[in-house]
Amino acid sequence: MAYPFISLAAAYALERLPRGEWRRIAPVVFVGSAALASVRFYFSEDFWPPQSRSVSGEGVTQLVESVPYPLRGTAVVAPGLGYFFAVRERTDRGRVAPLDVRNWWPDGQNESWYLFTAHWQPLEAFYRSILGERRVRSFGGPFSVYVERGDWSWLREYGWRYEAQCAQPEWQESGQVPVLFHIGQTFPGRWCSGRLVHRWTAQWMGDRSSLRLKWEHGEALVALSRGTVLANERKQIDFEVQRGEVISISLVLPKPTAAIVFLFRRLPSGEMAPEWTAVRPHEWAEPVACTLAPD
């Protein structure tokens, strides 16, 4: 609201200058200085802090432009990317959808593009290991995954069983996700105004490994089939897992907020998402201790 008054105040100040040559020169100097300062600021690092460069910038522009126009199949976009497709609403209506549990793996009926911002970069190697180099394109942080029409049902052989349970309004759904890497995505068309529990369950098919769970909101719990239960409020849990062991990870959000949670393998070279074949969906035999309690 202040911007119109700034321009009016500047015009009023220039109006008070004596008539003649000065009145013609002063506006040119004023507008030129303001334009130069604005352009320099717009292209400076101060205007584009690091946290904003992951959702905009050259990489995101190239990512969006890599999708054919008009769109022939479907585009599944990570949170924050839907805005960039608003200009294509007339030609691509109904073909662009936010990433959720139901569309995370392709249905095979249409060719699909999966588009991810730099926040999802830890999954780029994960997708390359499953689908091959030619289907994954990198754009300096953001990346895309192309999947042609066909039978992709075999992709569901591995992954995590995922459940969400809401207290208000009361509902519960279950599905499958390829990896425990969530930045707000859940079941489509669902909302929760009360306490919400997210739960991921799988059997570990890899070698003995050291894992690390990270999250940003709420309280997390890790339960293992050998009886180990680890609860922590420090937003990080490190634990060991053995081949054949069942893992159940729960995240309780007492207030309506997005689930931001990641599971990594701890390696000498750093953290990475576990391989696709490392986990297989599994039912938890007993109720997990981290469950809905009355408010």
Domain for residue 144, yes or no? yes
Domain for residue 286, yes or no? no
Are 89 and 107 part of one and the same domain? yes
pLDDT single digits (tens) 164-191: 999 989 999 999 999 999 999 989 989 8
Distance (Å, whole) CA 261 – CA 244: 23
- Could you give the number of structural domains in the chain? 3
Domain for residue 185, yes or no? yes
Residue at which a domain ends, from 127, 155, 183: 155
Of 210, 217, 205, 171, the C-alpha closest to 190 is 171
Distance (Å, whole) CA 215 – CA 235: 5
Domain for residue 293, yes or no? no
pLDDT reading at 261 higher than 60? yes
- Least confident span in 9-23, 141-155, 223-237: 9-23
Domain, as residue range, for 27: 2-42
pLDDT single digits (tens) 86-131: 777 777 778 899 999 999 999 888 899 999 999 999 999 999 999 9
Domain for residue 290, yes or no? no
Cβ-proximal residues to 10 (8 Å cutoff; 6+ apart), any chain: 30
Are 276 and 224 part of one and the same domain? yes
Tell me the CATH number at 227.
2.60.120.380
pTM exceeding the 0.85 threshold for the entire prediction: no
CB of 263 within 8 A of CB of 160? no
Are 143 and 251 part of one and the same domain? no
Domain for residue 295, yes or no? no
Q: What is the pLDDT of residue 5?
A: 56
* Count of Cβ atoms closer than 10 Å to residue 282 Cβ: 16
**How far does the chain reach from its first CA to its final CA, in angstroms?**
42
Domain for residue 291, yes or no? no
Q: What is the DSSP letter of 95?
A: T
Q: Which residue has the higher pLDDT, 204 or 6?
A: 204
- Least confident span in 11-15, 198-202, 251-255: 11-15
Domain for residue 205, yes or no? yes
